[in-house]
Amino acid sequence: MVRFARICGTGDYVCEECGTAYHDLETARRCEDFCRTHHACSLEIIRHAAHQPSEVPSTGS
Ligand SMILES: [Zn+2]
């Protein structure tokens, strides 16, 4: 399930499979579907990323 995170003061949607953040929910969902199905990221989708996984703070313990 795509989660919502605040990164650098903006709200972004994060693919839970790969941790990449997107400005729009639709793209985040597409990424997550692709990641789950193929166990890899789509370069076509990921180039729309707002933030790479290394920039996304992990939530919770
Ligand atoms: Zn993904």
pLDDT above 70: residue 2: yes
Q: Please tell me the distance between residue 4's alpha carbon and the centre of ligand 1 in angstroms.
A: 14
Compute CA distances 19 → 38, 50, whole Å.
15, 11
**How confident is the model at residue 59, as a pLDDT?**
64
Average the pLDDT over 9-34 and give the result: 92
Report how far residue 11's alpha carbon sits from residue 18's, in angstroms, rounded to the nearest whole number.
18
Report how far residue 57's alpha carbon sits from residue 16's, in angstroms, rounded to the nearest whole number.
12
What does the pLDDT look like over 25-40, one tens digit per residue? 999 999 999 999 999 9
Q: Please tell me the distance between residue 47's alpha carbon and the centre of ligand 1 in angstroms.
A: 11
Q: Please tell me the distance between residue 31's alpha carbon and the centre of ligand 1 in angstroms.
A: 4
Report how far residue 28's alpha carbon sits from residue 3's, in angstroms, rounded to the nearest whole number.
9
pTM, entire model: 0.79
DSSP alpha helix (H) spans, the chain:
25-38, 43-46
Q: Which residues contact 55 (CB under 8 A, 6 or more apart)?
A: 7, 8, 21
What does the pLDDT look like over 48-61, one tens digit per residue? 998 887 877 776 55
**How confident is the model at residue 45, as a pLDDT?**
95
